[in-house]
Structure 1
Amino acid sequence: MELLTVTTHPQDWIGDLLCIGFWQDQVELVGDVAEVDSCLGGAIQELIQETEFKGKPGSPSVTRLGAGSPVKKLALLGLGKADTVSLEVYRKAAATAAKTAKSHKSHRLGLHLPSTDQPADTLTGALTEGILLALHQDNRFKSDPEDKPPVLERVEFLGIDGGAAGIDQAQQLVSGVILARELVAAPASLVTPTTLAETALSLAQTYGFNVTILEREDCERLGMGAFLGVARGADTPPKFIHLTYTPAVPPQKHLAIVGKGVTFDSGGLNLKTQGGIETMKMDMAGAAAVLGCFKVLGQLQPPVQVHGIIAATENMINGQAMHPGDILTASNGKTIEVNNTDAEGRLTLADALVYAEKLAVDAIVDLATLTGACIVALGDDIAGLWSSQDELAQGLLQAAAVTGEKIWRMPLEEKYFEGMKSPIADMKNAGGRSAGSITGALFLQQYIQKTPWAHLDVAGPVWSDKGNAYGGAGATGFGVRLLVQWLLSQ
């Protein structure tokens, strides 16, 4: 599919589907839109009246035009209120236009949106993201995958001068999101710790990254007792993955991103029940985001050095599995009384964070599907953010504002750690029911000494049961664009 900008006015455009955006309660035919309406014999005004179109976001109003018209179909897109304008508004509008074009079997789409003061590359990047993410379909496991060329062959962003670089960068960015989506969506029988290691090796070979894969024996020598405690119950071997991207120029910063890589979480001996276990293939979504981010880094080549750390394992049950009541020793010497084998992600991250800090980086960000409590607190669309440093937290919040991936800063309330103190070890691995996402973050904080650190609990937004503006039900690829935007801003 070809995406491009053209300076053509919408009234002069010829194609299958013309989509025109309107602000809510500002459905006025002025300027180019009035010219389009005149050229189309009043079709826009008629469609507005027939559908009572008010510009509210949601389903577009669509009509077929006459046989002699230069445009076969017309769609009106509601953008919402003008005072809420953001890149996300344009991203979602483009996604809606793409879905409309697909459903109407249009080959050529023209998109005309209200003018904005955003630079052309920024605008076209957001539009491209919305279109490509909305059209992505993962049919790998269907008996009839329908491997046919997409119907939509050409998308033209009308009335925009420039913006080609934004389209190119967005295409590279989306390739990383799709990698993350497909890793998370695949069955746990196919995406194992070995699969994640092989993916890292493939990325390293393609883009010239340095890569180290630590086997169980290597992790034992490094004293990674927390990570290996989780791995004890799995027949598949654990893999500790370390990817390094180094720019061709002297790096402006040295950073680390750490992704939780539990490729299936049964809960261990604290077995998950029906209603919670079916989608636990997604418990490696943090790791998938790291790998997706590296695919983008290899293409964009930003001037920062980035370490990607993944402690990959399954959390399963066999005769060697971790018991409630076991005491584990992490690689920084801290001891942990296991009072819940289903609070396993933090155990794998503990050793990963210790490892990351030894790299002497300027900041560490981890992503993890850590707690159901974060979904209770923030719902399915918003990730929780905890950070030991305001500047780092603000940088992530600003990145999220650009990408439209919602995060909300939560407190590191030190008092709540009291409930995790153990009479026989340094700490327990889980607190009580109250503030579960906060106590999970406080546990992770014990494995950072002085490096600025942020934790993103992404349990909600990495998976969508019903689909969202950018795609169908299943894995969303959340976090890839956020990480990349944050790294590019350094």
Structure 2
Amino acid sequence: MQISCSFFYISDAEKDLSIHNKFSLFTMATLRVSSLFASSSSSLHSNPSVFTKYQSSPKWAFSFPVTPLCSKRSKRIVHCIAGDTLGLTRPNESDAPKISIGAKDTAVVQWQGDLLAIGATENDMARDENSKFKNPLLQQLDSELNGLLSAASSEEDFSGKSGQSVNLRFPGGRITLVGLGSSASSPTSYHSLGQAAAAAAKSSQARNIAVALASTDGLSAESKINSASAIATGVVLGSFEDNRFRSESKKSTLESLDILGLGTGPEIERKIKYAEHVCAGVILGRELVNAPANIVTPAVLAEEAKKIASTYSDVISVNILDAEQCKELKMGAYLAVAAAATENPPYFIHLCFKTPTKERKTKLALVGKGLTFDSGGYNLKVGAGSRIELMKNDMGGAAAVLGAAKALGEIRPSRVEVHFIVAACENMISAEGMRPGDIVTASNGKTIEVNNTDAEGRLTLADALIYACNQGVEKIIDLATLTGAIMVALGPSVAGAFTPNDDLAREVVEAAEASGEKLWRMPMEESYWESMKSGSG
């Protein structure tokens, strides 16, 4: 699943509201949320009445009136779920993993449980002239197993390359060797180790597992802590399987995870707990994306936002706007997209995270595209390549934003204020729907010519981004399933990002790397702007 991402400071409307790109679903929930959100390197602010173009000089600043942040006004949301008439589908209860995770100083050869997973690099698999392991831990394990470990790895041609694994079964348990590549220098390696351990646990129905590294040479204390966090993330997310819509499903049996040899104490336990909070946000996002459009409607997304605010009411508030309230705010671009979906009306979602403190806060906004189904409108998605059956995924940006809100509710970083904004709706076909060639007006008064009704994401995001600017934020990150063209440029596993600001780009790229995500900054040439001008709007 891919979602789009745009990173920018408040800048020129016709530029920044038009450029977006692909971004992976994990990223926003795993971007080391608190450290990224707590950073404040910019002095650039927005005036709610104007967009100000970012320039290279960091000295630009604007005074602006304070806008009320959030309203806790309660609203009754009318559920319009297509499932009421289409099949009466109702999901089973969520089956998110419930795993007890801890860092232990138990020696690997003395650990007792169902499954032991060991991550080994190519260097760890080196042998001496007698074909014995040079690595002390592997040598000791092999001795305890009477040479079975070396024999099995030789028979399976296991050399520690990334993606390789070898499994040993013996009375009382299993051992899995997982290849980490030439060096385990990135969080991706440890995340993959955790996923491989989860897969082995699932296939063997293990209840208690442990994960260790064959060697920790060269790892600093901080690197060991981060490695433990990445392993925990891999195990939890690797154990998750969305079976809510299956009539029969096999539940995970995994109950506990011990992380061996990477240290113990409050700091590593805090980092593991942080990883668990992030995983909870990721799993929420996965469940929202996986659910069909006859289950997750704009109203259901709004209810999910209210549920998050209720759970974390001391730090998160919510304001849900219905179509009439959006009309009062002149959100013509967003409402034009939603016009055809008369059975599932739009809901504009605004969550606000804020911890009580008198210190200056960094103010940020996360904006997610929330098309719970995208038919393409009158430019209907047709043909084998259109994949219209997957267009329930067009709310992936919204799912990531709500997942990040849930994660922040648990993590509770200080000195930060984050606005989570989703313009939720469906893009359907009806006599009331938007037509190709229509001209719509966004809430800042800018007119937009609609040449293709399947470019609806830009329209919903336009009003959502304008709304975000009016909250007085310093930075905006938006995420959206906006175009498949980025996969032609970067492939299916690399996210693209657009921003005119080098500092923000560096922050986000570094956070992505620390989270094991692949992110590539795309160009924003001045010559692109001419092609976006309309002769009518």
**TM-score, normalised to structure 2's length?**
0.76
Instruction: Give the corresponding residue for 2:528.
Output: 416
Q: Give 2:411's aligned residue.
A: 300
Match of 1:363 in 2: 475
1:127 pairs with 2:221:
no
What's the counterpart of residue 112 of structure 1? 212
Deviation of residue 25 (structure 1)? 4.8
Q: Name the CA distance, whole Å, in 1 between partners of 2:163 and 2:108.
A: 22
- Is the CA contact (8 Å cut-off) linking 2:375 and 2:381 kept in structure 1? yes
**Any idea what SS the aligned residue of 1:267 has?**
coil
Aligned AA (1:245): F
Equivalent residue pairs, number: 418
Indicate if the aligned counterparts of 2:423 and 2:460 stay in contact, CA closer than 8 A.
yes
The answer as to 2:103 corresponding to 1:13 is: no
- SS of equivalent residue, structure 1 residue 374: helix
Q: How many angstroms apart in 1 are the aligned matches of 2:355 and 2:208?
A: 39
Aligned match of 1:373: 485
Question: For 1:405-438, what per-residue CA distance to the aligned partner results, in whole angstroms no more than 9, with x for missing partners?
Answer: 211100112212222222221xxxxxxxxxxxxx
In structure 1, what is the Cα distance between the partners aligned to 2:489 and 2:161?
28
For residue 249 of structure 2, the aligned residue among 145, 151, 158 is 145
Uncovered stretches (5+) of structure 1, i.e. residues with no partner: 426-490
Number of the residue aligned with 1:428: none
Contact 1:121 1:165 in 2 (8 A): no
1:448-472 deviation line (CA, Å, top 9, x unaligned): xxxxxxxxxxxxxxxxxxxxxxxxx
Q: Does 1:99 pair with 2:203?
A: no
Letter in 2 for 1:206: T
Q: What are the within-5 Å matches in structure 2 for residues 4-403 of structure 1? A: 4-28=102-126, 29=133, 30-65=135-170, 67=171, 72-82=173-183, 85-113=185-213, 114-115=215-216, 116-117=219-220, 119=222, 120-146=224-250, 148=251, 150-162=252-264, 163-208=268-313, 209-235=316-342, 236-249=344-357, 250-275=359-384, 276=386, 277-303=388-414, 304-403=416-515
Give 1:18 shift.
Answer: 2.0
- What SS does the corresponding residue of 2:160 show, helix, strand or coil? coil
- Deviating more after overlay: 39-48 vs 343-352: 39-48
Pair 1:302–1:251, CA change in 2 (3 A): farther
Which residue in 1 is equivalent to 2:25?
none
Task: Give the SS at the match of 1:15.
Answer: coil
Q: Match for 2:377: what amino acid? A: G
Contact 1:260 1:368 in 2 (8 A): yes
The RMSD of aligned alpha carbons is 1.4
**C-alpha displacement at 1:45, in angstroms?**
1.4
TM-score, normalised to structure 1, is 0.83
Question: Secondary structure at the residue paired with 2:399?
Answer: helix
Kindly provide the amino acid, as one letter, of the partner of residue 166 in structure 2.
Answer: S
What are structure 2's unaligned runs of at least 5 residues? 1-98, 127-132
Looking at structure 1, the residues matched to 378 and 479 of structure 2 have their Cα atoms a distance apart, in angstroms, of 25
Task: Give the Cα separation in 1 of the matches to 2:468 and 2:173.
Answer: 56
Quick one: distance in 2 between partners of 1:2 and 1:59? 27
Match of 2:231, SS? helix
In 2, distance between residues paired with 1:274 and 1:292?
33
Q: Which amino acid aligns with 1:161?
A: G
> Partner letter of residue 15 of structure 1?
G
- Equivalent position amino acid for 1:218 in 2: Q
Which stretch has the larger CA shift, 236-245 or 28-37? 28-37
Deviations 1:216-257 (A, max 9, x none): 111111111111110111121111111101012235301101
- Identity over aligned residues, as a percent? 46
Amino acid at match of 2:524: L
Q: Is the contact between residue 188 and residue 517 of structure 2 (CA under 8 Å) also seen in structure 1?
A: no
* Residue deviations 1:113-134 (CA, integer Å, cap 9, x gap): 1313252432221111000101
CA offset digits 1:258-316 (Å, max 9, x no partner): 00011100000000014321100000100111100000111111121000111111000
Tell me by how many angstroms 1:154 deviates: 2.2
